[in-house]
Amino acid sequence: MNWCRISGEKNVGNLTLRGKITIFAVTLLLLMGCSIAATVYALHRIHIVMYEAKSIFIIERQFQKMALCFEKSLMGPHDYLIRRTEDEKKRFAKVFEKLMIENANLKGLIMDTRLKATPRLCQQLRETEKRLLALEEVFSQYEIAAGKVLGLKNPFGNPKAGSYMEEMDAIVDKVTDVLAEEVMLLSEISDAAIEQIHTLYQHIMILMTILGIVAVLAGSLLNYYVIQSITGPVGHLVATTRKITSGDFTARAKVETHDEIGELACQFNEMVDNLVGARELTSAILHGSGDGMRVIDKDFNIFQSNVEMEKLTGIASGESVGQKCYEHFHHEVCHTEMCTLRRVLMGEERIVSEVIKETRDGRKIPVQFVATPLKKGGEIIGVIESFRDISERKQAEEALQKSHDELEQMLQRLKETQAQVLQSEKLASIGQLAAGVAHEINNPTGFISSNLHSLASYEKDISALIAEYRSLISELNKAVATEEGRAAISEKLERIAALEKEIDIEFLLDDTPNLIKECREGTEQIKKIVIDLKDFAHPGEGKLKYADINKCLDSTLNIVWNELKYKATVTKEYGDLPEVQCYPQQLNQVFMNLLVNAAQAIENKGEIRIVTQANDGYVEIKISDTGVGIPKENLSKIFDPFFTTKEEGKGTGLGLNVTYQIVKKHKGTIDVESTVGAGTTFTIRIPVD
C-alpha cells in the first residue's frame, strides 16, 4: 500500500508549495502589470502630445512663410511709386499669387492635422481657421488697395496716391497684427505641449523606479521563502541517498509535507523500491540465463558470476569471486595485447567471437563469447562476459561440413555427367544429321568431280593444239625463206584452224574459268560445313567468350541446311546485335535443336522465320515455324527430360531439356507460344554481359 498517496488524499485542502509560489508570483505580476500599464499610458500620452507639438510647430512655420511673402508683396506698390515701371506690377502679382498658395497650403495643413488631433487641439485649430478666413478677407482688401496704387498711370505727385498708400498701410498693419498674434499663440501652445511632455516623462521615471523596487523586494521574499521551504527536505533526501549509496537499501525518505517536496520524497521512495526490484530482477536474470555469465572489474578480478558459469568452470561462484578471470577459464590470447577483456577496457564497444577455453582441470570447451563494457557515468569500470557452450553445434557443423563436401563431390560428378549428356546429345544430333551433312558435302563433291573431268578433256585438247603451234613455230624457223616452207606453213595453219574449230577453243577459254570458280566455291562450301561441324562437335573450352549471335545462327543453319531446305523457306530478319558473352558451341546446339524441331514439325512446304534484336540489355532470338503446333497439355512438359512425342528412334527426349539447361546456364530465359495447326514460336533472351 502506498501510504504517501493515501496521506496526500486526506490533505487535499492544504496549500502546496507550488500553490503558494503561484499566488505570490501572480500578485507580483499584477503589480508589475499595473505599473507597466501606467507606463504604457504615459508613453501613449507623450506620443499624442509630441504629435500635437510637431503639428503646431509646422503650422507656426507656415504662418511665418505667409508673413514673409506678405512683406515681399509690399515692395511692389512702393517700388512702383518710385520707378513707375511694369516690372513692379508683375513682381507684385507673382508674390501675391505665392501668398495665396501659402495660404491654401496652410488651410490644407490645418485640415489634415484636425483629422488626427485631440479634441482640445481641434478646438484651437478651428479658432485658427476662423482667423485665417478673416485674414483672407483682409488679403482681398489688400489686393484691391494695391491694385489701386498700381493702376495709377502717373503716381508721382498724384494726390490719390497718398490716400491709396494710407489705405494700404492700414490694411498692412492689420495683417501684420493678425499674423504676429497667431504666431505668438501657436508658440505658446507649442511651449505648453513641451512642458506636458517633460511632466509625463518624470511620471514614467517615477513609475519605473517604483516597479524596480517592487520587483526586487518581491523576488527577495520569494527567494527566501523557496529556500526555506526546500533546503530542509532536500537535505534529508541527500542523507537518505548517501545511505542507499553505501548499500543500505532499507533506508527511505520521510514524508513530512504534502506539497511538491513531499511528493518528491514519495517519488524518491518509489524509485528506491524500483531500484531494489531491478537489482533483484537483474540477479534473477543473471542466474536464470542459460549462458554462463560473469562480471570482471578493471583489474581482471571476478566480481560476480552465475550458476551456468559454475557448470562451465566447475568452480562455485562464491569461490571464484575476487580471483583472476584467467585462472578459471583460460585462452591462448590471455596476457597479450589481443586479450578480449583488455580490448573492451580500452574502448571497444562489443566483441563477439568463438574460442576454445581451457578450464582449470584441463578441459577444453568451445564457446561463443560476448564481451560488453560495463559503464558508470560514461566511464568503463568493468566487463560483462557471457559464454555459451557450443560443443554440440560444433559437432553438428563438422557433420554438416562433411555432408557439404560429399554434396560438392556429387555436384562435381553431376556436372561431369551433365557435360557427358550434353556431348552425347551433340553426337546424337550429329548422327541424325550425318546423312544430310553428307548430302550437302556430296553435292559440291559431285560437280567438282564433273568439272575436273571436263578440265582434263580440255587440257588434252589444248595440249594437242599447243603441240601444233610448237610444230608451226619450228617450221617457220626452218623454211620461212623458201617456197616449200611457205607451203608447209600454210598447210600447218589450215590444220591448226581445223583443230581449233574441232575443239571449240573459244568455248574452252570461256568455260575453263567458270569450272575453276565452281570448284573453288564447292571446296569452300565443303570447308565451311566441315569447320562448322567440327566447332559444333567440339566439347568447348568451358570459358565464356564474346560471340556474334547472328554468325552462330548462320553457322548452325549451314550444318542443318539439308534438314530445312526441303521442308521450309528460311526467312532471316537479323538485327544489329552487340556481341554476347557466352559459350558459342552450346548456343549452336540450342539453335540446332530448335531449327531441326521446327523442320520436323512442318508436314508440307512451310516457313521458318528467325528474328534477332537487341532489347534492354538482352539479345532476343525468335525462331518461328508454321508447323503442326504443340498441344496445350504438352506445353508445360516439353522441357522435361526424356519427354518426346516423336516416333521411337527419332529422338532421345533430351533435346529441349538440354536447350533449357544451356539457356539457364547463360542466365537467360526461353519461352514458347504455340497454336495447334498454326505453328510454334520459341523466344530466347540472353543477357549481353
b/e per residue, 133-148, with b = 16+ CB within 10 A? eebeeebeebbebbbb
Counting Cα atoms < 13 Å in the Cβ hemisphere of 637 gives 10
Report the alpha-carbon distance of residue 417 to residue 485 in Å, rounded. Answer: 87
Asked if 71 and 151 sit in the same domain, the reply is yes
State yes or no: pLDDT of 124 exceeds 80: no
Statement to judge: residues 64 and 152 lie in one domain: yes
Contact indicator for 258, 17 with CB cutoff of 8 Å = no
**Which contacts (CB < 8 Å, 24+ apart) does range 164-171 have?**
165/77, 165/81, 168/77, 168/142, 171/138, 171/141, 171/142, 171/145
Residue 171 makes CB contacts below 8 A (sequence gap 6+) with 138, 141, 142, 145
In angstroms, rounded to a whole number, what is the distance separating the alpha carbons of residues 406 and 409?
5
Q: For 240-254, what is the mean pLDDT? A: 72
Task: Please tell me whether residue 306 adopts helix, strand or coil conformation.
Answer: coil
Q: 162 versus 576: which is more confidently predicted? A: 576
Q: Give the pLDDT score at 73.
A: 62
Reply yes or no on whether the pLDDT at 436 is more than 70: no
Choose among 116, 109, 115, 120: nearest CA to 193: 120
pLDDT, residue 626, reads 93
Stronger pLDDT, 264 or 339, i.e. the higher one: 339
Could you tell me if 348 and 377 lie in one domain?
Answer: yes
In this structure, the chain runs to a length of: 689
Q: Which of 675, 671, 672 lies closest to 686, judged by CA?
A: 671
Cα-atom radius of gyration of the chain, to the nearest Å?
63
Residue where one domain finishes, among candidates 194, 211, 234: 194
Backbone angles phi, psi at 376, to 5 degrees: -140, 115
Would you place residue 579 in the very low, low, confident or very high pLDDT band (cuts 50, 70, 90)? Answer: very high
Separation of alpha carbons 679 and 630, rounded Å: 8
- Judge if 155 and 262 occupy the same domain: no
Same domain, 383 and 482: no
Task: Assess contact for 302 and 296: CB atoms under 8 A.
Answer: yes
pLDDT tens-place string over residues 316-326: 766 777 788 77
Mean pLDDT to the nearest integer, 469-475: 65
On the question of pLDDT at 548 being above 90, the answer is yes
Within a domain: 406: no
The amino acid at 449: S
CA–CA distance, 669 with 689 (Å, rounded to integer):
14
- So what's the pLDDT on residue 539? 57
The domain that holds 67 is classified in CATH as 1.20.120
Task: State residue 455 phi and psi, 5-degree precision.
Answer: -65, -35
Calculate the CA 487 to chain-centre distance.
107
Helices 260-288, 17-83: axis angle to 10 degrees equals 120
Plot region of 631 (φ>0 → left; ψ -120 to 50 → alpha; else → beta): beta
Q: Could you report the per-residue pLDDT of 209-234, keeping only the tens digit for each?
A: 776 777 677 666 666 666 666 666 66
Helix (H, G, I), strand (E, B) or coil at 201: helix
Beta strands per DSSP E along 390-538: none
Other CB atoms closer than 10 Å to residue 153's CB: what's the count?
Answer: 6
C-alpha 550/C-alpha 340 separation (Å) is 63
Residues 678 and 547 in one domain: yes
CA distance 470 to 386: 114
Query: Which residues have CB under 8 Å from 314's CB, separation 6+?
Result: 359, 360, 361, 363
Position 563 scores a pLDDT of 79
Are residues 263 and 315 both part of a single domain?
no
Residue 295 domain flag: yes
Question: Span 197-203, mean pLDDT?
Answer: 64
* pLDDT number for residue 340: 81
pLDDT at 116: 62
Structural domain for 578, as ranges: 540-687
- How confident is the model at residue 299, as a pLDDT? 84
How many Å apart are CA 46 and CA 198, to the nearest integer? 9
Query: At which of 342, 365, 389 does a domain end?
Result: 389
In terms of domains, do 368 and 330 share one?
yes
- 544 and 589 share a domain? yes
Instruction: Give the pLDDT mean for 174-202.
Output: 64
User: Among 628, 627, 623, which residue's Cα sits nearest to residue 610?
Assistant: 623
Residue 340 placed within a domain: yes
pLDDT tens-digit map of 292-318: 788 888 888 887 777 777 777 777 766
Name the H helices within 581-643. 584-601
Q: Do residues 107 and 148 share a domain?
A: yes
CB atoms within 10 A of CB 484: 8
Q: Which pLDDT does position 278 carry in this prediction?
A: 62
Range 650-666 average pLDDT = 78
Extract the C-alpha cell encoding 7. 496521506
Alpha-carbon distance 358 to 134, whole Å? 124
Is residue 624 very low, low, confident or very high in pLDDT (cuts 50, 70, 90)? very high
Q: Which of 116, 124, 146, 77 is nearest to 132 (CA)?
A: 124
Residue 375 has pLDDT above 80, yes or no: yes
Instruction: Name the domain boundary from 367, 389, 411.
Output: 389
Statement: residue 681 has pLDDT above 90: yes
Percent of the chain surpassing pLDDT 70: 46
Looking at per-residue confidence, does 496 or 675 come out higher? 675
Distance (Å, whole) CA 53 – CA 186: 9
Mean pLDDT of 432-455: 59
- Top pLDDT among 491 and 546 is at 546
Q: Residue 3 above 50 pLDDT?
A: no
What gap in Å lies between CA 259 and CA 613, rounded to an integer?
86
CATH (domain of 559): 3.30.565.10
% residues pLDDT > 90 (the chain): 10
Based on the fold, state whether residues 498 and 603 are members of the same structural domain: no
Is 60 exceeded by the pLDDT of residue 335? yes
Dihedrals φ, ψ of 359, to 5°? -80, 175
Assign 200 a pLDDT band (cuts: 50, 70, 90). low
pLDDT given for residue 428 in this prediction? 55
Which tens digit of pLDDT belongs to each residue from 63-100?
666 666 666 666 656 555 555 556 666 666 666 666 67
The predicted pLDDT at position 346 comes to 83
414 located within any domain: no
How confident is the model at residue 12, as a pLDDT? 39
User: What is the distance between the alpha carbons of residues 346 and 665, in angstroms, rounded to a whole number?
Assistant: 52
DSSP 3-state of 315: coil
Q: What is the pLDDT of residue 162?
A: 64
Instruction: Output the nine-digit C-alpha cell for 480.
Output: 620461212
If DSSP codes are grouped into helix, strand and coil, which group holds residue 263? helix
User: In whole angstroms, what is the distance from residue 603 CA to residue 109 CA?
Assistant: 115
Residue of 397, 399, 401, 420 lying closest to 409 (CA atoms): 401
Tell me how far the alpha carbon of residue 11 is from its chain's centroid. 61
Provide mean pLDDT across the span 588-602: 88
Distance (Å, whole) CA 437 – CA 430: 9
Whether the per-residue pLDDT at 11 is higher than 50: the answer is no
pLDDT at 112: 66
What value does the mean pLDDT of the chain take?
A: 72
Q: For position 366, which CATH number holds?
A: 3.30.450.20
Residue 238 and residue 268: Cα distance in Å, rounded?
11
Please choose, from the candidates 570, 572, 571, 552, the residue with its C-alpha nearest in 3D space to the C-alpha of residue 562.
Answer: 570
pLDDT at 205 over 60: yes
* Per-residue confidence (pLDDT) for residue 625, from 0 to 100: 94
Is 32 part of any domain? Answer: no
Residue 477 lies in a domain: yes
Domain count, the chain: 5
Residue 13 pLDDT level (bands cut at 50, 70, 90): very low
Confirm whether 231 is domain-assigned. Answer: no
Q: Do 111 and 155 fall into the same domain?
A: yes
Which ranges of 117-158 does DSSP label H, i.e. alpha helix? 119-151
Identify which of 547, 638, 620, 561 has the alpha carbon closest to the alpha carbon of residue 592.
561
- Distance CA(592)–CA(554), nearest Å, equals 11
- The reply to whether 607 falls in a domain is yes
pLDDT band at 7 (very low <50, low <70, confident <90, very high): very low
Instruction: Label residue 405 by pLDDT band (50, 70, 90).
Output: confident
The pLDDT value given to residue 239: 74
